[in-house]
């Protein structure tokens, strides 16, 4: 029987998680950017009781192979604990984890020609006994226990009350590290030119082209997250602490939220760098807001998201409720839109994610042909980059980001991807420079 216990503390989710960061398989979903509309909750998952993974289309529960297609097995596990509790908090108990971009191969027949520079499970979800919940809108905090175990709750609360505030890291303006990429500049620009030829021939209207950076790094992963959070706060940040690797995310983009049977997505397209002065910032903002190319990119992705939602939402319920909203981040400006719809009666949150995966903003339109071209031109599997991180609540809710502005740390190496949407009007030099603008914050913290 679920138990919810409210508690008082002056500490935020990040500061509390600092005292649980060494707990096995602990995860922080951190709404670190101050945004009253988007940053409403943060969550910490503690004390796992089950781990679901998928590797090469095989399903595993606690390391043992089980029969069934991975998304169907995951749906059955979430459904097994299904319940009804009247509470406005969207996530009271359930599973937190990720779905890598390459899990899309389980859903569509795609070529498999690219190389793989590191290996992690395609999907991993941790089912938790306990959550620490931070209601940022109402300044309330809770601990939940799936079994109503008071002793576990008291143990968590004792640890919280021993916590202290921690200072934000001071991060240098430039990184001294050496970074490597799967592209040299001219090859990346040539790949964009090839992609534009595909657009000219009618294969796609827009496609997302990315490159991977990596470097040597033996720093503690949470320390890297601490620095990234201090310079690049984002509404959909996360820190996933697994024994074999860690994921450090400061994503500005929501993939899909399902709450009370309503689905929302917020695709991002259009980027300009932050300036070195207020005047330069204002010029760059105005340029982005008035850019017909960037607005056309966003419109194409919005159309794709509307089409994806039409597969899982009731007829005539899918609507664009916000278009061309300008958002500010530490190193860039973005244009964002919002698409909403009401789910059909037989569509679960897991099925909604499955039918719409991967996100249109980081693939292209038409989606499948864009993914085929991505496989051909990028030459390296994206892995967790442009996948999703988030939760499934046992009452049917979910919320997932798009894994951008994110670092994967494994065996003293740090990996991250950057990219952008390519249209026929794209200028190769500008698109390459945009990837570097997006990489700045990640390079600084590494």
* 148 located within any domain: yes
Is there a cis peptide before residue 349, judged by omega within 30 degrees of 0? no
Residues 52 and 58: their CA atoms lie apart, in Å, by: 11
Q: Would 202 be classed as within a structural domain?
A: yes
CB of 272 closer than 8 Å to CB of 332? yes
Q: What is the pLDDT of residue 36?
A: 66
Calculated CA dihedral for residues 54, 268, 294, 382, nearest 10 degrees: -20
174 is a domain residue: no
Q: How many domains does the chain have?
A: 1
pLDDT tens digits along 151-160: 999 999 999 9
Q: How many Cβ atoms from other residues are within 10 Å of residue 56's Cβ?
A: 10
- Domain, as residue range, for 199: 3-165+181-445
Taking the C-alpha atoms of residue 169 and residue 232, their distance in angstroms, rounded to an integer, is 12
d(Cα 389, Cα 404) in Å, to the nearest integer? 10
Residue 121: name the closest of 361, 387, 407, 355 by CA.
387
Residue 172: inside a domain = no
Does this model's pTM top 0.85? My answer is yes
Residue 173 domain-assigned (yes or no): no
287 HSE (CA, 13 A, CB side): 13
The contacts found for 224-227 with CB under 8 angstroms, 24 or more apart, are 224/248, 224/407, 224/409, 224/414, 224/445, 224/446, 226/14, 226/166, 226/168, 226/169, 227/169, 227/171, 227/444, 227/445
pLDDT value at position 276? 84
Kindly tell me the burial class for residue 270, based on how many C-beta atoms sit within 10 Å of its own C-beta (0-12, 13-18, 19 or more): buried
CATH number where 158 lies: 3.60.120.10
| Positions of the chain with pLDDT lower than 70, given as ranges | 35-36, 167-170, 172-175
Q: Report the alpha-carbon distance of residue 44 to residue 239 in Å, rounded.
A: 10
In a domain, 236, yes or no: yes
Look up residue 72 and give its two tokens. 């169907």
Q: Is residue 380 part of a domain?
A: yes
Angle, CA 22 vertex, CA 19 and CA 23 arms, to 5°: 95
Residue 138 lies in a domain: yes
Q: Which residues are catalytic?
A: 253, 269
């Amino acid at each position: 029987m679920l138990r919810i216990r409210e508690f008082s503390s002056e500490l935020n989710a990040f500061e509390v998680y600092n005292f649980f960061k060494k707990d096995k398989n602990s995860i922080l979903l951190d709404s670190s950017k101050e945004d009253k509309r988007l940053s409403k909750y943060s969550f910490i998952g503690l004390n796992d009781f089950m781990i679901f993974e998928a590797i090469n289309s095989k399903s595993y529960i606690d390391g043992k192979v089980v029969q069934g297609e991975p998304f169907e097995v995951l749906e059955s596990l979430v459904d097994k604990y299904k319940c009804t509790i009247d509470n406005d908090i969207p996530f009271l108990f359930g599973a937190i984890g990720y779905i890598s971009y390459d899990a899309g191969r389980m859903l569509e027949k795609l070529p498999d020609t690219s190389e793989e520079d590191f290996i992690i499970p395609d999907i991993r979800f941790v089912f938790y006994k306990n959550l620490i919940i931070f209601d940022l809108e109402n300044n309330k905090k809770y601990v939940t226990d799936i079994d109503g175990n008071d002793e576990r709750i008291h143990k968590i609360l004792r640890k919280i009350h021993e916590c202290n505030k921690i200072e934000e890291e001071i991060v240098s303006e430039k990184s001294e590290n050496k970074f490597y990429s799967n592209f040299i500049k001219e090859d990346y620009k040539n790949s964009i030119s090839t992609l534009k030829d595909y657009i000219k021939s009618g294969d796609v209207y827009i496609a997302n082209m990315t490159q991977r950076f990596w470097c040597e790094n033996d720093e503690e992963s949470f320390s890297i997250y601490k620095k990234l959070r201090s310079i690049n706060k984002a509404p959909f940040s996360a820190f996933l602490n697994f024994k074999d690797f860690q994921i450090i995310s400061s994503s500005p983009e929501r993939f899909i939220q399902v709450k009370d049977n309503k689905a929302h997505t917020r695709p991002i397209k259009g980027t300009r760098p932050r300036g070195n002065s207020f005047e330069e910032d204002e010029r760059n903002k105005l340029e982005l807001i008035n850019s017909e190319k960037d607005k056309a990119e966003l419109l194409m992705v919005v159309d794709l998201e509307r089409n994806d939602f039409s597969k899982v939402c009731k007829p005539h319920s899918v609507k664009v409720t916000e278009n061309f909203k300008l958002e500010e981040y530490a190193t860039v400006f973005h244009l964002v839109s919002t698409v909403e719809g009401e789910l059909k009666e037989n569509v679960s949150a897991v099925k909604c994610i499955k039918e719409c995966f991967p996100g249109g903003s980081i693939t292209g339109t038409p989606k499948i042909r864009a993914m085929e071209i991505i496989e051909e031109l990028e030459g390296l599997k994206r892995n967790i980059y442009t996948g999703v991180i988030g939760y499934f609540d046992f009452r049917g809710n979910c919320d997932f980001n798009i894994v951008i502005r994110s670092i994967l740390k494994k065996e003293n190496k740090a990996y991250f991807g950057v990219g952008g949407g390519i249209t026929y009007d794209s200028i190769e030099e500008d698109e390459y420079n945009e990837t570097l603008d997006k990489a700045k914050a990640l390079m600084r913290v590494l």
